[in-house]
Amino acid sequence: MSTWQQLLAEKAQRWLVTGAAGFIGSHLVESLLKQGQTVVGLDNFSTGYRKNVDAVRSAVGVAAAARFTFIEADITDPVACAKACQGVQRVLHQAALGSVPRSMENPRLTHVNNVDGFFNMLVAARDAKVERFVYASSSSVYGSNRELPKQEDKTGQCLSPYAASKAVNETYALAFEQAYGLRTAGLRYFNVFGPRQDPNGAYAAVIPRWTSRLVRGEACEVYGDGETSRDFCYVDNVVQANVLAALREGADVSGTVYNVAVGTKTSLNQLYRGIRALVPGASAQEAKYLPERKGDIRDSLADISRVQARLGYSPTHTLQQGLEVTVPSFLSQEPLG
Type of residue numbered 194: G
pTM of the predicted structure, to 2 decimals:
0.95
Type of residue numbered 196: R
Q: Is 289 a catalytic residue?
A: no
Residues 6+ apart with CB under 8 A from 151: 303
Q: How far apart are the first and last CA of the chain?
A: 35
Query: Is pLDDT above 50 for 121?
Result: yes
Arithmetic mean of pLDDT, 315-332: 94
Classify residue 281 by its DSSP letter: T
Arithmetic mean of pLDDT, 198-215: 85
Query: Is pLDDT above 70 for 274?
Result: yes
What is the pairing mode between strands 38-43 and 90-93? unpaired
Query: Of the residues 135, 162, 189, 234, which is catalytic?
Result: 162
Query: Is pLDDT above 90 for 79?
Result: yes
Query: Is pLDDT above 50 for 11?
Result: yes
Which CATH code fits 13-192+233-261+299-316? 3.40.50.720
Do residues 217 and 276 lie in contact, with contact meaning Cβ atoms separated by under 8 Å? no
The mean pLDDT value of the chain amounts to 94
User: What is the reported pLDDT for 243?
Assistant: 98
pLDDT-based confidence at 73, cuts 50/70/90? Answer: very high
Arithmetic mean of pLDDT, 31-58: 97
Rg (CA), the chain: 19
Element (H, E) at 80: helix 78-85
Query: Is pLDDT above 50 for 154?
Result: yes
- Break the chain into its structural domains and give their ranges: 13-192+233-261+299-316
Query: Is pLDDT above 50 for 334?
Result: no
Judged by phi (left if over 0) then psi (alpha if -120 to 50, else beta), residue 202 lies in alpha
Arithmetic mean of pLDDT, 246-253: 94
Instruction: Please give the residue that has the higher pLDDT: either 294 or 34.
Output: 34
Phi/psi of residue 136, nearest 5 degrees: -85, 115
Query: Is pLDDT above 50 for 162?
Result: yes
Provide the percentage of residues in the chain whose pLDDT is more than 90. 89
User: What is the reported pLDDT for 203?
Assistant: 65
On the question of a cis peptide bond just before residue 208, with omega within 30 degrees of 0, the verdict is no
